[in-house]
Amino acid sequence: MKPSHSQPRSKREPGQDPRPQGAPGTGSLVLVATPIGNLGDITARAVEGLKSADVIACEDSRVTAKLLAAAGIEKPLLPYHDHNAEAMRPKLLARIAAGARVALVSDAGTPLISDPGYKLVQAAVAAGLPVTMLPGPSAPIMALALSGLPSDRFLFGGFLPAKSKARRDAIAEAARAPVTLIFFESAPRLLDSLQDLLAVLGDRKAAVARELTKLFEEVRRESLSALIAHYAQVGAPKGEIVIVVGPPAEERASAEDVDTLLRRALASMSVKDAAATVAAATGAPKRTVYARALELQEEK
Ligand code: SAM
């Protein structure tokens, strides 16, 4: 017997939509995840969803055209990216309201994850239009799963800023949460970022996940200092990268650890920021760390 739409979600067949689509008045926005390197990772539901879309909104039509060609799909493409989103959004919403099924893809992976789409979803929801998703690959989730680091609680920090001061600030802000941290980074900046992570967080366990799902997929799982030593020796790697950093160690940091971290942090931060960062990274009481930061600053 074919499952009906009223059955629980677990009973849906692969490729089956959660609700009827395409008829007038039943337009929808469908977020479609696509592979992050290996075309074989496209899901059966993604193929069906793209085939049944009236139009596909995409970041770069050349990239999406290649994916569609590989999957044997021909569909009109509409560019939707940071530079035209303001102008395109009302047009896409109007088409959905008129009954069109609009699929949104990014160049790779899950739309909205450091990719365009959030404001489109927000506007569709505000307009009462149906929004659904055909989920699939995402680099930060794959990197977390392969990192061997705690995956029960994590913070995804997106792309780290290019400049060191802003980068250290972003790391310090993320470090307020005592959980596993995930960042995107480009290959040429990997070493600088690892050094800033060490300076702000201390020598935590980490992983560098590179070229996931591709021919040269690699995950290096070491301490931050060991990763720095490795990349300082071999040079910048090639390809796409996710950095995963484990949470602070369970045991309380010793006074010696706090001093080492404070000295590193004071090299680039104010006493207040250095104390807040080291307190967050070690779990040591803020007032004690601040008092010690003042002493070390005076010793300089
Ligand atoms: N939305 C995408 C996702 O869900 O995976 C992420 C898009 S973001 C613009 C691109 C960044 O994701 C890259 O610079 C890299 O840091 C990371 N990334 C994407 N594909 C990757 C891969 N195959 N291996 C490692 N990192 C990847």
CATH number of the structural domain 28-136: 3.40.1010.10
- C-alpha distance from residue 273 to each of 165, 196, 251, 269, 293 (Å): 12, 15, 23, 6, 10
Interatomic CA distance for residues 211 and 241, integer angstroms:
7
* CATH-assigned architecture of domain 140-245: 2-Layer Sandwich (3.30)
Q: What is the pTM of this model?
A: 0.82
Quick one: pLDDT at residue 10? Answer: 53
Q: How far is the CA of 109 from the centre of ligand 1 (A)?
A: 7
Q: What is the pLDDT of residue 21?
A: 47
Q: Give the confidence band of 1 by pLDDT, cuts at 50, 70, 90.
A: very low
Burial (CB count within 10 angstroms: exposed 0-12, middle 13-18, buried 19+), residue 244: buried
Q: Please give the distance, rounded to the nearest whole angstrom, from the Cα atom of residue 241 to the centre of ligand 1.
A: 7
Checking if the pLDDT of 215 tops 70, the result is: yes
Q: Are 231 and 191 in contact (CB under 8 A)?
A: yes
Residue type, 196: D
**What pLDDT score was predicted for residue 219?**
98
Per-residue pLDDT tens for 38-84? 999 999 999 999 999 999 999 999 999 999 999 999 999 999 999 99
Task: Please give the distance, rounded to the nearest whole angstrom, from the Cα atom of residue 140 to the centre of ligand 1.
Answer: 7
Residue 253 DSSP label? P
171 touches 160 (CB < 8 A) = yes
Rounded average pLDDT over 14-26: 53
* Span from the CA of 296 to the centroid of ligand 1 (angstroms): 40
Euclidean distance between CA atoms 27 and 225, whole angstroms: 52
Mutational pocket test of ligand 1: of 104, 193, 219, 241, the residue with most ligand atoms within 8 Å of the beta carbon: 241
E-state strands within the chain: 28-32, 55-58, 77-79, 101-104, 131-134, 154-159, 180-186, 205-210, 218-223, 240-245
Instruction: Establish whether residue 240 lines the binding site of ligand 1, counting it when its CB lies within 6 angstroms of any ligand atom.
Output: yes
pLDDT the model gives residue 11: 60
Which atom of ligand 1 has the smallest separation from the CA of 112?
1
Is the shortest distance between the CB of 100 and ligand 1 below 6 Å? no
For ligand 1, the distance from its centroid to the CA atom of residue 184, given in whole angstroms, is: 7
Residue among 104, 147, 160, 242 to mutate when testing ligand 1 (max atoms within 8 A of CB): 242
Q: In whole angstroms, what is the distance from residue 137 CA to residue 65 CA? A: 19
Q: Is 37 in the pocket of ligand 1 (CB under 6 A)?
A: yes
Task: Return the DSSP state at 108.
Answer: S
Whether the per-residue pLDDT at 32 is higher than 60: the answer is: yes
**Ligand 1 near 59 CB (within 6 A):** no
For residue 277, what pLDDT is reported? 84
The predicted pLDDT at position 7 comes to: 43
CA 148 to CA 155: how far, in whole Å?
16
In 10 A of CB 154, how many CB atoms?
A: 21
Tens-place pLDDT, residues 231-278:
999 999 999 999 999 999 865 567 777 888 888 888 888 899 888 888
For residue 194, with 0-12 CB atoms within 10 Å meaning exposed, 13-18 middle and 19 or more buried, which class applies? buried
CB of residue 180 inside a 6 A radius of ligand 1: no
Distance 238 CA to ligand 1 centre (A): 13
Q: How many helices (H) and strands (E) does the chain have?
A: 11, 10
Q: Following DSSP, what letter does each residue of 69-101 receive, concatenated? A: HHHT----EEE-STTTHHHHHHHHHHHHHTT-E
Buried b (16+ CB within 10 A) or exposed e, 247-277: bbeeeebeeebbbebbbbbbeebebebbbbb
Percent pLDDT > 70 in the chain is: 90
Q: Is 102 helix (H, G, I), strand (E, B) or coil?
A: strand
Residue 224 has pLDDT above 60, yes or no: yes
pLDDT of residue 252: 56
Reported as a pLDDT band with limits 50, 70 and 90, residue 3 is very low
Say yes or no to pLDDT of 16 above 70. Answer: no
| Model confidence pLDDT, tens digit, residues 174-199 | 999 999 999 999 999 999 999 999 99
Domain limits of the chain? 28-136, 140-245, 255-299
* DSSP SS3 for 125: helix
Tokens of 206: 């980490």
